[in-house]
Amino acid sequence: MESGSFRPLYLILVPAILVAAGILGFYTFRSAREHTQLGEQTIAQSLLSVAQHRVESIERYIDVADRTIARLVDPNDSSTLDTEWLPQSSTQTPGITSVLLIDQDGNLIQWASRQDKKARRAFLRIFRQQLVESLELDSPEPHLLRHSHEQITGTSYLLSYRAYATLAGQITYIVAHHDTRYLVDQVFPMMFVADETAPLYNIVDEGNHVVFGPDLSEVGVYTVAHRFPTTLYRWRLQVAPRQAALLQAQGRSLMRGETALPLMSFAIILLSAVFFIYAAEKERRLNVLKSELMANVSHELKTPLSVVRMFADMLRSGRVPNEERRVEYLDIICRESERLTSLIDNMLDFSALEGGKGPYHLRRGDIGDAVDRALDAFRYRSEQDGVEIHLQREEELPPVLIDPEAIALAVINLLDNAVKYGGQTPVELELTTKRSSVDVAVRDHGPGIPSDSLRRVFERFYRGPHANPTRGSGIGLSLVKNIAQAHGGRAWAKNAAGGGAVVGFSIPIAGG
Tell me the CA distances in angstroms from 209 to 154, 205, 231, 247, one per residue in order: 11, 6, 19, 29
In a domain, 89, yes or no: no
Cα separation, 67 vs 73, in Å, equals 10
Q: Which CATH number is 406's domain given?
A: 3.30.565.10
- 466 belongs to a structural domain: yes
The one-digit pLDDT tens for each residue of the chain (512 residues) are 444 455 565 556 656 666 666 666 566 656 655 665 666 677 778 888 888 999 999 999 999 999 999 999 999 999 999 999 999 999 999 999 999 999 999 999 999 999 999 999 999 999 999 999 999 888 778 888 999 999 998 899 999 999 998 888 889 999 999 999 999 999 999 888 766 667 888 899 998 899 998 888 776 667 888 999 999 999 999 988 776 345 555 655 666 666 666 667 667 766 776 777 777 777 777 776 666 656 556 655 665 677 677 778 877 887 777 878 777 778 777 767 776 776 676 666 666 655 545 567 889 989 999 999 888 878 877 777 788 999 998 888 999 999 888 898 889 889 988 888 887 889 999 999 998 999 999 999 988 888 888 888 888 767 666 545 455 556 778 888 988 998 999 999 999 888 889 999 999 998 75
Report the pLDDT value the prediction gives residue 328, as an integer from 0 to 100. Answer: 77
List 158's β-bridge partners, or say none.
149, 178
Containing 483, the helix (H) or strand (E) segment is helix 476-486
Q: How crowded is residue 348: how many other Cβ atoms within 10 Å of its Cβ?
A: 12
| Residue 382 placed within a domain | yes
Domain with 416, as residue range(s), is 358-508
- Any alpha helices (H) in 318-447, and if so which ranges? 323-354, 367-385, 404-421
Residue 146 lies in a domain: no
Residue 282 domain flag: no
Cβ count near 371 (within 10 Å): 23
- Domain presence at residue 128: no
Give a yes or no: residue 460 inside a domain. yes
Contacts of 70 (CB under 8 A, 6+ apart): 162, 174
Q: What per-residue string of b and e applies to 181-206 under the rule 16 or more CB within 10 Å gives b?
A: eebbeebbeeebeeeeeebbbbbbee
Q: How many domains does the chain have?
A: 1
Per the CB < 8 A criterion, the answer to whether 223 and 239 are in contact is yes
Q: Against a cut of 0.85, is the pTM above it?
A: no
pLDDT for 280 equals 73
Q: Work out the number of other CB atoms within 10 angstroms of the CB of residue 437.
A: 19
Residue 296: predicted pLDDT: 58
Rounded Cα distance between 75 and 81, Å, is 9
pLDDT in the model for residue 124: 94
DSSP per-residue codes, 13-42: HHHHHHHHHHHHHHHHHHHHHHHHHHHHHH
Q: How far is CA 255 from CA 21, 245, 249, 428, in A?
A: 20, 15, 10, 68
Which contiguous run of DSSP H or E holds residue 265?
A: helix 243-317
Q: Are 397 and 438 in contact (CB under 8 A)?
A: yes
Domain for residue 426, yes or no?
yes
In degrees to the nearest 10, what's the CA dihedral of 380, 384, 386, 392?
A: -10
The two counts, helices (H) then strands (E), for the chain are 11, 16
